[in-house]
Amino acid sequence: MRAALAMAPALVPFVFGEPERARLQHLVEIDMTFAATSLPAIPEPAGIDLLIAGWGVAPLEPGDLDAFPALRAIVHWGGGIGPLDAAASSRGIRISTARAVNAIPVAEFTHAMITLAAKDAFWASRRYSAEQRFIDREAELPHTGLYGTTVGLVGASTIGTLVAERLAGSDVSVLLYDPYATAETARRLGAELVGDLVELARRSGILSIHAPEMPATRGMISRDVLAVMPDGTTLINTARGSLVDQDALVAELQRGRLRAVLDVTDPEVLAPGHPLYSLPNVFLTPHLAGSTGSELRRLGQAALAEVERFVAGEPFAHPAP
């Protein structure tokens, strides 16, 4: 059985360590020293049974898969399957995605940001460093603490679900907005289902976004939604920058009314001098929430497990929806 890598070559040693590379070469005929950044760059495509794909592949062009008549499966170790989905599934090609595995560090990151935002950690740190004096926590930071906080979650996605599960033991009230979620889903997560996004925003002390990016969700955190958020509310976005009306958010932040923890922006990267870089009530990170560094090995190990299942004739554990 022949396989090929379709991913950024520089990522290969980060995703697949020596044990994983050795195991893959035992399972299939594959050149682990070569990774193509586009499907047409793969040599001898007619004999390829399996593609192991990931970040760094050029968008699929019409007809690219015509050169792969023997292709039976694609194991995508990234968070999604990118442009491969429709073209491959229409040909009966099985697809595995590591979306559920990549959700783990995003949920961990988000839960940490919720906890730190509730403790005013980012803003108290900046104040402490700037003023270099004793901070009387009870007098000057009377509303800090996760206990009793109301956290609004926008989206019961894989990540949103994991975040809700992590919050379950934190003595917080969790509100959930998701047009596709049921009351039973919310109950299982220990959350209250709220049918209106504006109402969710009005009732939340921390609002965390976990919706997918699609035409219907772009700009869903609108000017109207932002306007009803209580003073001091923190907006956390580890999803996609386009889900937020960024200009409206900047205006609220410049007034000092809201706070924001942003791992994503629109666009990525922001232009030099953009206000989000310097506003004191913004904690900005360069898309760190997803798998990075050592966490890439988890993606590689998950992909390896799927290859083992495919070679054994078993169903994928994480088939693309």
- Burial annotation 17-50 (CB, 10 A radius, 16+ → b, else e): eeebbebbeebbebebeebbeebeebeebeebbb
Catalytic residue check, 188: no
Alpha carbons 95 and 277: distance in angstroms, whole number: 39
Of 287, 297, 298, 309, the catalytic one is 287
Closest CA to 75 of 66, 86, 88, 58: 88
Q: What 3-state DSSP class applies to 304?
A: helix
Task: Could you list the beta-strand ranges (E) of 149-219.
Answer: 150-154, 173-177, 191-193, 206-209
φ/ψ (deg, to 5) at 182: -105, 165
Of 21, 76, 111, 240, the catalytic one is 240
Of 61, 140, 268, 314, the catalytic one is 268
Catalytic residue check, 240: yes
Please list the active-site residues. 240, 268, 287
